[in-house]
Chain A
Amino acid sequence: MSREKSFHLLRTTVALVIAMLAAFAVIFMVSDTPIESIRLFILGPFSKPRYIGNIINTAIPLIFSGLSMAVVFQASQFNMGAEGIFYFSGAVISLIAIWVPLPVGVHQVVIILAAAVIGALIMLIPGYLKAKYGASELVTSLMMNSILLGLGSYLMTRVLQDPMASNGSYPYLDTAKIPVIIPAFKVHYGLFIALLCVAAVYVFLYKTKWGYEIRMVGINAKFAAYSGINIVKTIIIAHLVSGAIAGIGGSVESIAMHTRFEWNGLPGYGFTGALIAMLANNNPVSVIYAALFVAYLSTGADIVARLSDVPAEMSTILQSLIILLIASERFLHSFKQRWMERGIAK
């Protein structure tokens, strides 16, 4: 491993440790039983098979959102639209899941493909506006998120809402659901779809010419342009792929974890996806580990919130701290300087 890479790994680890320590400090301040809370936070997620299953199930949508963000980040595009797409594709495919009767297998495939198309089409808007006209994809994608929330809840209240249910759509047809693999862990087959996506994105980014184009545009757009790479097309492709993955993520999450559409706000995967992509240094394979880690943190936070007196939002605080530390180029800089100097001295 090069010194550059081992340094990245080291820095990530130190950032995680510091963030954890900060979390402990917060727990000490707010909890009446701090030691017990910390124990629950750290070890709780491994205490029952159901919790371990929960980590994996929580990680599945995070893998999708992390991948989605990694693709746009590789193109140096800061698009937070995965958030809205998760929600909106979940709402739209509910139409198919509730009312279009299809055989098992076909039903799921149709739903997932439809979600991919929806996601890609939505991403086309900020992607095209950025690529062609230079409109900030960060702002447009955030505006899109709020707009999609409005459209989704309109769809919910006008079409999907089950008058018999307190807060949810008509139930999904059984043929549409993604089943559980091992009942004790409750892990569902969406895991394989997620891993398949990881492999596909890896090949796409590192083995195909489109991936090469995306990476070169991301590193230096001026260089890419004069080399003959079509920047507009490349940025749009990155957005389309990213949107499709987010769409798939939204649909898998809906039909695997829910029996009806019941999100009444944005689910928050967009931001977490950005964190995961960063932890993974935008590498699709590392996204798996990063997603599992974040899922572990939020499972721990949930357990603490349920069994103790610390609100679950602690995991958001923790995640923000991790982002701050990892994004900081100068964090551990003087150490890096010495480390590199020693490498030269050799």
Chain B
Amino acid sequence: MEYLLRMENVSKIYGNGIVANKDVSFSLKEGEIHALVGENGAGKTTLMKILFGMEKPSSGKLYLRDKELDINSSNDAIKHGIGMVHQHFMLLDSFTVAQNITLGIEPANHHFVDENAAVAFTEQLSTQYNFAVDPRAVTGTLPVGIKQKIEILKALARGAKILILDEPTAVLTPQETEQLFEELVKLKKQGYTIVFISHKIKEIKAISDRVTIMRAGCSEGVFNTSEISEQEISNKIVGWKIDTSIHKKEHAFGEARISVTDLSYYGGEKVPILQDINFQVKSGMIMGIAGVQGNGQVELAEILTKSRRVESGSVEINQADIQSMTIKEMREKGFGYIPEDRQRQGVALTAAVNENLISNKYDTEEFCNKGILKKKKISEYARQMIAEYSVKCSGENGRIDGLSGGNMQKVVVARECMEETKVLIAEQPTRGVDIGAAHIIHQNIVKLRDNGCAVLLFSADMAELIKLSDVLAVMYEGRFVAYYENLSDITEEELGLYMLGIKKQDESQIRRMRYE
């Protein structure tokens, strides 16, 4: 028996017609760390969800130790010793750590849960694997690094021998990543088999024994990591070479378009979520905001876009206080926003592409006359946008939920990046988007900047931040801890130290963000 587990000729077609996996084969050797690599949307997660019983394959077979496996639910997968740590944590915020770890396998006395036994079990587990967690802590209050440990313990507690980790480093700093890798290597030495999903080539080279490369739903083959170069992996991931370099116009910045002064925010909590936030984004400038997820970036973006209120301090956009404006008035002054969650906020899924393209300008003179919509103008405009952004769709009247993630995001960006846009707030603008679409999106954001728009860019993708930003700030626990006016001398390691709060620049450097 050469392989512990094999997936043979697996295909998956979703109900909406999207082909996620096409004839993919995948195998695991016992005790290896196997990287599964590919760009976003290449089908890595779907393949692993099939293995973990969360999706049913349209065709294909699974074998564990050469015996055919029939997995219909996560429960079946767990019974066969397969565990998965999802990219979006599957934790109950209101439950304690021990309750989360024992969920579904609670120690019980005549159907009554034995809390003390659950705590003892958790303690024993955390010493056995050397993952420090407090069993009685309420999960919702814990940082992401800890939550990830809880997730791994959860899988181990259920007897997982094969551990699937979906993009585990996406939310971690370089230092936390290193720590995770040490833990993974220890698990490997104890005989565990680990699948490591990632799109970061450096990490794959650092930790994996073998690597399976996926592109557009298909497998591009499996390789011993030591025998394949970073360049080769990269070529196979992308498949063809596209020029993704970005050319920014050299220019001086203009007047301040976003001014945030002494902003603090508690949102009903005792500890501030944001504290003493001061900065300006000027015309023609892209300011990048880096930080580990959950350090106040989301709240800051939500305040700037008025879905949270300004508790203290002031926020001015185009020299006007946002508290005295409605979102409509802000938009009339050239305010654009690319939200983090495309599906939940960025589009109206069952509406047509053209209807999605005009939601921020449907009642301007161009598209509306005394309340009556100008259907022809709208169609013309939509066709023009579809061509300009090369959106792949059946036509401007087709529903937007028939589009792939990347094309959907192009529609969002096309809508938000207009000639009149003077201020743009972009949250994770290329998350879950293929390289081609990401490039188009980057080009358009830079085009806005070149035309004098002020851009505030929130991103978890370091490469994107460094590539696009003119200036870069790092957030930690609701404060700015670093500010770079010159990006050429940044290293990822140094950024990591700031993101983790280990290092902090002195006040005078951070104060430069105010441009006083």
Q: Which residues of A contact B (CB under 8 A)?
A: 2, 4, 207-210, 212, 215-216, 219-220, 222-230, 333, 336-337, 340-341, 343-344
Complex CA distance for A229 and B348, rounded to whole angstroms = 13
B266 smallest CB distance to A (angstroms)? 23
A207 touches B372 (CB 8 A): yes
B371 touches A226 (CB 8 A): no
B349 touches A220 (CB 8 A): yes
Closest to B369 in A: A209
Residues of B with C-beta under 8 A to A341 = 13, 17
A225 touches B399 (CB 8 A): no
A145 smallest CB distance to B (angstroms)? 30
Residues of A with C-beta under 8 A to B373 = 207-209, 212
Task: Flag the segment in B356-364, B470-478, B507-515 that touches A.
Answer: B356-364
A337 touches B15 (CB 8 A): yes
Residues of B with C-beta under 8 A to A2 = 398
B221 smallest CB distance to A (angstroms)? 26
| Proximity bits, B1-29, A CB within 8 Å = 1, else 0 | 00000000000010111010000000000
Using A208-B373, A226-B345, A341-B17 as known contacts, list a sample of 8 further A-B pairs with CB atoms less than 8 Å apart, ordered by residue number in A: A209-B372, A216-B355, A219-B349, A220-B344, A222-B344, A223-B346, A224-B348, A228-B328
B13 touches A212 (CB 8 A): no
Residues of B with C-beta under 8 A to A209 = 362-363, 368, 371-373
Complex CA distance for A208 and B362, rounded to whole angstroms = 10
Closest to A227 in B: B359
B362 touches A212 (CB 8 A): yes
Question: Which of A216, A222, A228 is the one whose CB lies under 8 Å from B345?
Answer: A222
Complex CA distance for A210 and B399, rounded to whole angstroms = 20
A94 smallest CB distance to B (angstroms)? 35
Closest to A216 in B: B348
B347 CB within 8 Å of chain A: yes
Question: Which of A215, A224, A226 is the one whose CB lies under 8 Å from B337?
Answer: A226
Closest to B18 in A: A344
Residues of B with C-beta under 8 A to A340 = 15-17
Residues of A with C-beta under 8 A to B344 = 220, 222-223
Residues of B with C-beta under 8 A to A215 = 348, 351, 355
Residues of A with C-beta under 8 A to B328 = 228-230
Check A225/B327 contact, CB under 8 A, given A208-B372, A216-B351, A219-B349: yes
A219 touches B350 (CB 8 A): yes
Residues of B with C-beta under 8 A to A208 = 371-373
Max chain B CB contacts within 10 Å: which of A207, A208, A209, A216?
A209
Complex CA distance for A327 and B398, rounded to whole angstroms = 23
Complex CA distance for A208 and B327, rounded to whole angstroms = 21
Residues of A with C-beta under 8 A to B349 = 219-220
B307 smallest CB distance to A (angstroms)? 7
Residues of A with C-beta under 8 A to B19 = 344
A330 smallest CB distance to B (angstroms)? 10
B326 CB within 8 Å of chain A: yes
B442 CB within 8 Å of chain A: no
Residues of B with C-beta under 8 A to A224 = 348, 359
Complex CA distance for A230 and B17, rounded to whole angstroms = 35
B15 touches A226 (CB 8 A): no
Complex CA distance for A340 and B360, rounded to whole angstroms = 33
Complex CA distance for A343 and B360, rounded to whole angstroms = 34
Interface residues of B in 299-352 (CB under 8 A from A): 305, 307, 326-328, 330-331, 337, 339, 344-351
A223 touches B13 (CB 8 A): no
Question: Which of A219, A225, A230, A336 is the one whose CB lies under 8 Å from B351?
Answer: A219
A343 touches B372 (CB 8 A): no
Complex CA distance for A223 and B345, rounded to whole angstroms = 4
Question: Which of B360, B371, B398 is the one whose CB lies under 8 Å from A227?
Answer: B360
Complex CA distance for A336 and B337, rounded to whole angstroms = 36
What are 11 contact pairs spanning A and B, CB under 8 A? A2-B398, A210-B371, A219-B349, A219-B351, A220-B349, A226-B327, A227-B359, A229-B359, A230-B326, A333-B15, A340-B16
Residues of B with C-beta under 8 A to A220 = 344-345, 347-349
B260 smallest CB distance to A (angstroms)? 19
B366 smallest CB distance to A (angstroms)? 12
Complex CA distance for A127 and B443, rounded to whole angstroms = 44
The 3 A-B residue pairs whose C-beta atoms are closest, nearest first, are A227-B359, A228-B328, A219-B348
Complex CA distance for A229 and B344, rounded to whole angstroms = 16
Closest to A225 in B: B327
B359 touches A223 (CB 8 A): yes
Residues of A with C-beta under 8 A to B399 = 4
Residues of A with C-beta under 8 A to B337 = 226
Complex CA distance for A226 and B348, rounded to whole angstroms = 12
Check A223/B347 contact, CB under 8 A, given A212-B373, A229-B359, A343-B17: yes
Complex CA distance for A228 and B358, rounded to whole angstroms = 11
Residues of B with C-beta under 8 A to A216 = 348, 351, 355, 359
Residues of B with C-beta under 8 A to A219 = 348-351
Complex CA distance for A224 and B359, rounded to whole angstroms = 7
Complex CA distance for A38 and B214, rounded to whole angstroms = 61
Residues of A with C-beta under 8 A to B350 = 219
Question: Which of B326, B347, B398 is the one whose CB lies under 8 Å from A228?
Answer: B326
Residues of A with C-beta under 8 A to B17 = 340-341, 343-344
Closest to B358 in A: A212
Question: Which of A223, A228, A337 is the one whose CB lies under 8 Å from B331?
Answer: A228
A84 smallest CB distance to B (angstroms)? 30
Complex CA distance for A207 and B15, rounded to whole angstroms = 31
| Proximity bits, B201-231, A CB within 8 Å = 1, else 0 | 0000000000000000000000000000000
A87 smallest CB distance to B (angstroms)? 32
A212 touches B346 (CB 8 A): no
B348 touches A228 (CB 8 A): no
Check A344/B371 contact, CB under 8 A, given A219-B350, A220-B347, A230-B328: no
Complex CA distance for A220 and B363, rounded to whole angstroms = 18
Residues of B with C-beta under 8 A to A336 = 15
B355 touches A226 (CB 8 A): no
Residues of B with C-beta under 8 A to A226 = 305, 307, 327, 337, 339, 345
Complex CA distance for A222 and B307, rounded to whole angstroms = 10
Question: Which of B13, B339, B348, B359 is the one whose CB lies under 8 Å from A344?
Answer: B13
Max chain A CB contacts within 10 Å: which of B337, B348, B350?
B348
Complex CA distance for A340 and B19, rounded to whole angstroms = 12
A212 touches B355 (CB 8 A): yes
Residues of A with C-beta under 8 A to B13 = 341, 344
Complex CA distance for A208 and B328, rounded to whole angstroms = 18
Closest to B339 in A: A226
Closest to A204 in B: B371
Max chain B CB contacts within 10 Å: which of A219, A228, A333?
A228
Closest to B329 in A: A228
Residues of B with C-beta under 8 A to A344 = 13, 17, 19
Residues of A with C-beta under 8 A to B339 = 226
